[in-house]
Amino acid sequence: MKLIQKAVIKKGDKFLIQLRSPQAKYFPLHWDLPGGKLEQDEDPLIGITREIKEETDLDTKLIKVIGVFELDLDNEGHNSHRFTIYLSEIISGEVKLSFEHLEQKWATKEEILKLPIEPYFIPLFEKLSHE
């Protein structure tokens, strides 16, 4: 199983999302949260902090895990990914676009749910609306 760490970064009633490139292996041209795969033997908290910095140039503080979702990305039973989602807060920095994404923006939950998004977004944002 591949371990993926993602971050929900909120400012007011908006969340930071990023548009994946058309060359992305999974979910090309879908909106995503900052984050990515852990490196070999990498601590998950170090990994998500590293990925946030690489993709947004933000320094953040992790608050808590707010969701864990498992998906078989090929729907063939042998490509399972576990997405661990952290609520994060900005400590410092200004959002900058990385080479990995075409665009990033702040959007409300309602706006996000109308966009092409990764499948775990729906239960994640439904859960967030009840917290």
Number of Cβ within a 10 Å radius of residue 47: 19
**Percent residues over pLDDT 90 in the chain:** 67
CATH-assigned architecture of domain 2-128: Alpha-Beta Complex (3.90)
**What is the predicted pLDDT for the residue at 8?**
96
pTM of the model: 0.89
Alpha-carbon Rg for the chain in angstroms: 14
- Domains of the chain by residue range: 2-128
Question: pLDDT tens across 6-60, in order?
Answer: 999 999 999 999 999 999 888 999 999 999 998 889 999 999 999 999 999 999 9
Fill in the amino acid letter for 123.
P
**Contact 68/83 with Cβ under 8 angstroms?**
yes
As a whole number, the mean pLDDT across the chain is 90
Question: pLDDT tens across 93-103, in order?
Answer: 999 998 889 99
